[in-house]
Structure 1
């Protein structure tokens, strides 16, 4: 059988035989199980497609498995306290953990603890990176969601305390979950709270775009990939679908089921703690304290599969299957380092530098989009002026090479070249 493109990964707080399980998205059959303890809520994450990580329930360490070696823990990463949430950047460069009211940021390639952020006043409940790994958002019991830029957090001047890009402070009770949409720094962010609201924000400006009031506390939230719908898991077991494309949508609204895309998924008997949508937006996965994870057809709102667990479901996610998940003889390209418990400046023999490996194609300093556009405009104006002036002009291939274009000189003009750009 061919390896699946997407899989379901779940964990619960009651199983004695496995920590987390991988299911086939379409058949529901169990494919893999990872052994060793139980995973705390909002801590299950995949690092660089090669390692599965999750914080041990009620403990101060993070379990790490090679993605294809299901029966063997690779290592345990001891943290400074009880771990509330864990997430890894999509580019595989950084690892985040929320411990009490503090965010810890590690560089994966070296294991160095790069930054310790203490901006929250109470325990952190959720963390998430943007899809381009340029920002991350933390939510806490202090009712705040804080937007951080990686570029401001990682710096050489360690005497300067990093400041968040935005502090989102419109909730009146603890934040229970958050989700970052697509488009990197231009993404929209949804936050759920015990104040019975879900709020949608613009990450770049920190502006509140939408606030939806429900009749129950909201425990989980997610977008579909196209961001047509907002899915909200309630404390009563219902899942609420909010249309984001309604023409009558105002900034503040109260949820009501209607024919305009606002619907309710009914089936769970206890609070819904986690939500995830398939890549094509047709399937919704939910995990609940009723000890089940359910797969729903988004269009019909019908539950098409129920995955029974041994305890309250702590994590449930649909994700693209890593390339070597089902290749038992494969090994990670880079071994995991030993992660430090202390800021790198306090370790013996460390010169204090920040070693950040930005990848093969991003190490060199590149021009911004606006700089490239301005240079191209200047070059095109120069070429136009020369043609209008009736002067011969030399080949401009070297001038346009920065855009990796294909330039052809065919000598149609007497005494000059004709160059054109093919992107």
Structure 2
């Protein structure tokens, strides 16, 4: 079965903020404009409704309806400060932003600020949710990795103002294994049973067990590492470096030792155009790898042969790449979003524990006064009466059975 997939890219270019590509034909399907340059790791797709992007150097999140080239003027999400990275939960309900050394968590459709936490001593570089949304992983320039139970993090009774550390939620675990900034992080797709990988400027890639943070393997390279991604079964690990190469390492038969030096034939290498690999992405069928570099190129690789299928040239360094399904909403004239986005709160309000979510009515409602609608209304009333009768009969049967049981036990 053919799956219609498209590729979204963004770059340091003034022409557009993001671009939607048919990567098989290299046709531009849509341009998303007037949002400035998007920060690296600052692009998210909200369900089948919106594209969310953080503008570089400005405390603004731009929102594009999928069917529009222009960002929404009615929905401008203002942040407390400039965001360095974004992460959207798998259910498209919450999103987290790294702002300096802190992590802010909002509920997207109400705009309510649920959490402000800080454990990193230097700015946050990347945030990721686990595939089931139960964990939030935060990495920073200090080489520290912090993993939270997300339900505890957004519990309003545990959230306090940023001026105090009293009552702050403690992470499940903290890892300080990297000696230099963590440059990328990728989590597998098996929920709490997943593995995750981190890469750092200290030339190491570390693989952990998500549930307890157990270190499973450390791969030592000879280059500065800049990007990483798993395939869906977590059998193959792809690591991009500062020199433009991409290493493919098989995890089906991992080394018995905890530390393994990558040299010679211990990994397969995608040797493409020279330039720092900024980001990596794998398509849904695990057959195509996309890489974005600071030499203005997005390369589309066939994983099996490790050959470049297509090259997409931009007019600036690549900042984000993401495979998406070819949703109908990308090309529809009228968009019926499932949710309405609200302005973001700037502070936590502990007294306001009741708030509403804005949701659109997706299905059309037919209001008619014909005889059929009256017949349906009459039938609904009859059904409700029958339902009440059945409830009474069931109650009588239950009481009778209870009396019989009492008499039997007394004998």
Q: TM > 0.5 between the two?
A: yes
Whether the aligned pair in 1 keeps the contact of 2:275 and 2:294 (CA below 8 Å) is: yes
Superposition TM-score, scaled by structure 2 size: 0.81
Of the three residues 273, 279, 296, the one matched with 1:274 is: 279
Aligned to 1:305: 310
Whether the aligned pair in 1 keeps the contact of 2:146 and 2:171 (CA below 8 Å) is: yes
Aligned to 2:197: 190
* Alignment of 1:171 onto 2:170: no
Aligned to 1:20: 18
Q: Equivalents in 1 of 2:4, 2:261: separation in Å?
A: 38
How big is the shift at 1:27? 1.9
Q: Equivalents in 2 of 1:129, 1:247: separation in Å?
A: 25
Gaps of 5+ in 2: 161-166, 360-411
Within 5 Å, which residues of 2 pair with 1:29-44? 29-36=27-34, 37-44=36-43
Q: Equivalents in 2 of 1:337, 1:128: separation in Å?
A: 23
Q: Equivalents in 1 of 2:349, 2:312: separation in Å?
A: 44
How big is the shift at 1:80? 1.7
Whether the aligned pair in 2 keeps the contact of 1:179 and 1:221 (CA below 8 Å) is: yes
Whether the aligned pair in 2 keeps the contact of 1:9 and 1:23 (CA below 8 Å) is: yes
* Alignment of 1:331 onto 2:330: no
Q: Equivalents in 2 of 1:73, 1:233: separation in Å?
A: 35
Aligned to 1:207: 214
Q: Equivalents in 1 of 2:45, 2:139: separation in Å?
A: 20
How big is the shift at 1:133? 1.2
How big is the shift at 1:323? 4.2
Q: Secondary structure at the match of 1:137?
A: strand
Within 5 Å, which residues of 2 pair with 1:356-395? none
How big is the shift at 1:247? 5.3
Change (3 A) 1:143 1:356: farther
Q: Equivalents in 1 of 2:139, 2:254: separation in Å?
A: 30
Q: Equivalents in 2 of 1:354, 1:263: separation in Å?
A: 54
Q: Equivalents in 2 of 1:156, 1:292: separation in Å?
A: 44
Aligned pairs, number: 349
Aligned to 1:114: 114
Gaps of 5+ in 1: 346-350, 360-423
Aligned to 1:49: 48
Deviation string 1:367-422 (CA, Å, 9 cap, x unpaired) is xxxxxxxxxxxxxxxxxxxxxxxxxxxxxxxxxxxxxxxxxxxxxxxxxxxxxxxx
Whether the aligned pair in 1 keeps the contact of 2:124 and 2:138 (CA below 8 Å) is: yes
Q: Equivalents in 1 of 2:327, 2:193: separation in Å?
A: 27
Change (3 A) 1:4 1:67: farther
Aligned to 1:180: 187
Aligned to 2:134: 134
Aligned to 2:352: 352
Aligned to 1:94: 94
Q: Secondary structure at the match of 1:185?
A: helix
Change (3 A) 1:166 1:307: same
Aligned to 2:381: none
More RCO (CA 8 Å, sep 6+): 2
Q: Equivalents in 2 of 1:4, 1:230: separation in Å?
A: 23
Whether the aligned pair in 2 keeps the contact of 1:257 and 1:264 (CA below 8 Å) is: no
Q: Equivalents in 1 of 2:6, 2:152: separation in Å?
A: 35
Higher helix share: 2
Whether the aligned pair in 2 keeps the contact of 1:257 and 1:263 (CA below 8 Å) is: no
Tell which structure's C-alpha radius of gyration is larger.
Answer: 2
How big is the shift at 1:48? 2.5
Whether the aligned pair in 1 keeps the contact of 2:78 and 2:343 (CA below 8 Å) is: no
Aligned to 1:388: none
Change (3 A) 1:257 1:73: farther
Of the three residues 226, 243, 249, the one matched with 1:242 is: 249
